[in-house]
Amino acid sequence: MFRIPTLLLLIVLFTSVAAQDTEYKTLSNIPYYPEEVRSQDNYISERCMLDIYYPVNKKDFTTIVWFHGGGLTGGNKELPDALKNKGLCIVGVNYRLAPGVKAPAYIEDAAAAVAWVFKNIRQYGGDTSQIFVSGHSAGGYLAMMIGLDKQYLAVHNIDANSIAGLIPFSGQAITHFTIRKENGIDDKQPVVDKYAPLFHVRADAPPMLLITGDRELELLGRYEENAYLARMMKVAGHQHTRLLELDGYGHDMVYPAFPLLLNEITRLSKSN
């Protein structure tokens, strides 16, 4: 586990291997559920869409699936500018939100979106062995849930271990506070059940880099949850979990975390 001084972030560099003349294309509002599912659920038809930003003249590119934050109750899909023009593909995902649905609907949506990427990214030029899953806050929680609890991707005949890496930003490691609220549990009452990434620690999970803000500035307990998850993953025998704490940054720590995400992708890609 490492505490990252703010000053150090100023010298974190990511060297893109993309050629200067790389061209990119954006496709918006692609449904990731099949028509037979969408036709039976108006909310799925309205909400369950994704956007793709990808290099059009490059083959076997890496893909980052990005889940937005918003407490599982708000937010919209996004293609972060900090990840653009790096020779990578970005997939921004919308998912259903509470109170329109309850758990596990939004987790199921996240899995359906990642499964869509595995099944379709080749046609755009992507490499299915280089699909990373990330997101901020609620998005980080979703990334961890579908990466650690294999049942969600298994529904789509995808092995969660096929994910190249999980890189959540300030994701909730215990049961998400919105799910606790759905069950009448106070948001200050910690719960670790089947809806908690901590419940699904396992030795054979994909590599995982946990990034949080400063423990004194983060949402209540968020750093500590991630620190406990990192510890328990190691206790379980997982050899590739790391935790980074961004000194001086609170919960809204996405900007300084993006270079760390890109560096992690480079590190893991070189190790393959």
DSSP of 171-229: ---SS-HHHHHHTT--TTS---STTSGGGG--TTSPPEEEEEE-TTTSSTTHHHHHHHH
b/e map 100-122, b = 16+ CB within 10 Å: ebebbbbbbbbbbbbbbbbeebe
| CB 200 within 8 Å of CB 149 | yes
37-57 pLDDT tens trace? 999 999 999 999 999 999 999
Q: How confident is the model at residue 156 (pLDDT cuts 50, 70, 90)?
A: very high
Q: With cut-offs at 50, 70 and 90, classify the pLDDT of residue 19.
A: very low
Q: How many CB atoms lie within 10 A of CB 186?
A: 10
Q: Is the pLDDT of residue 224 over 80?
A: yes
- Which of the residue ranges 13-27, 97-111, 165-179, 235-249 would you say has the lowest mean pLDDT? 13-27
Which has the higher per-residue pLDDT, 82 or 12?
A: 82
Give the model's pLDDT for residue 187: 86
- 10: confidence class by pLDDT, cuts 50, 70, 90: very low
Q: For residue 148, name the pLDDT band (cuts at 50, 70, 90).
A: very high
Share of the chain above pLDDT 90, in %: 90
Query: With pLDDT > 70 as the criterion, what percentage of the chain qualifies?
Result: 92
Query: What's the rounded mean pLDDT across residues 189-195?
Result: 97
Overall average pLDDT of the 61-81 stretch: 98
> Which pLDDT band holds residue 12 (cuts at 50, 70, 90)?
very low
| pLDDT, mean over the chain | 94
Q: What integer is the mean pLDDT of 199-211?
A: 98
Could you tell me the two tokens for 17?
């291997």
DSSP 76-131: -----GGGTTSS-EEEEE----TTTS-TTHHHHHHHHHHHHHHHHGGGGTEEEEEE
Q: Which superfamily, per CATH, for 2-271?
A: Alpha/Beta hydrolase fold, catalytic domain (3.40.50.1820)
Residue 6 predicted with pLDDT over 60: no
